[in-house]
Amino acid sequence: MHPKLEGHTVARYDSELSRLFEWFLEMGGFTLHLVGRVIGAMEHLNAEEARSAMVDDAQINALERSVDEEIAKLLARRAPLAHDLRVVLAISKAASDLERIGDECKRIGEVVVHIVEGKNGAEPSASLLYDTKRMGAMVSTMLRGSLEVFDKLDADKAAAVLVEQHALEEQFDASLRRLATFMLEDVRSIGLVIDVLLVTKALERIGDYSKNVAQQVIYLGRGEDVRHRSPANAGR
């Protein structure tokens, strides 16, 4: 049981909050694993792995439903206030972000299948996939960091995770310039460039949702909504 969730007069209340917390972390771990799988499927152009990952998105949806059901029961039974209410709201919002990450993973899987089994039979070069590989590593690190600070409820370290989003945005902008260059140099590559663009955009969204998870830790720990602050000011 997490020490920051303990201390209620009714011991069962502690247990209910802890169960909700554990279900969220289980959902987070499954989502992180799914992100790694679709990134690997894209890197190795593995349609079979991409299809398998797309199917597993349903498990994330099921976990979100379980979290939502537990939240509804807890709100009705305990009517949480103050810090307890922040815990429930933070988990609810963060679980929604994890579900959206699952949706983006599914989109990446669909693109991988389209590339591998497309009618033209062409495959993207290593240079064309350069940004997807870099961004894939960045979003994996971001999501892992967000889940770790959520597990520890460490608002200070959560602020550090937010800074990583700026580097991801810069990488995404650089990828757009490179992809535009590919199209200008070879119009035959337009189809593949669009596919890769869809993947980079999905990765950019995954990074954004990962940032949202870290922001909920700051809200939970300090009661501050930092969604509209710059990363540099979020930790203050």
DSSP per residue, 128-193: TTHHHHHHHHHHHHHHHHHHHHHHHT-HHHHHHHHHHHHHHHHHHHHHHHHHHHHHHH-GGGHHHH
Average pLDDT of every residue of the chain: 87
Domain that holds residue 90: 3-234
pLDDT band at 222 (very low <50, low <70, confident <90, very high): confident
Q: What is the CA angle 98-100-104, rounded to 5?
A: 115
Residues 80-107: tens digit of each pLDDT: 887 888 889 899 999 999 999 999 999 9
Question: To the nearest whole percent, how much of the chain has pLDDT over 70?
Answer: 88
What's the whole-number mean pLDDT along residues 208-225? Answer: 87
Inform me whether the pLDDT recorded for 9 exceeds 50.
Answer: no
**CATH code of residue 103:** 1.20.58.220
Residues 116-174: tens digit of each pLDDT: 987 556 678 888 899 999 999 999 999 999 999 999 989 889 988 888 888 999 999 99
**pTM: predicted TM-score of the whole model, two decimal places:** 0.88
Instruction: Burial-class residue 75 by CB neighbours within 10 Å (0-12, 13-18, 19+).
Output: middle
Count of structural domains within the chain? 1
DSSP per residue, 22-86: HHHHHHHHHHHHHHHHHHHHHHHT-HHHHHHHHHHHHHHHHHHHHHHHHHHHHHHHH---HHHHH
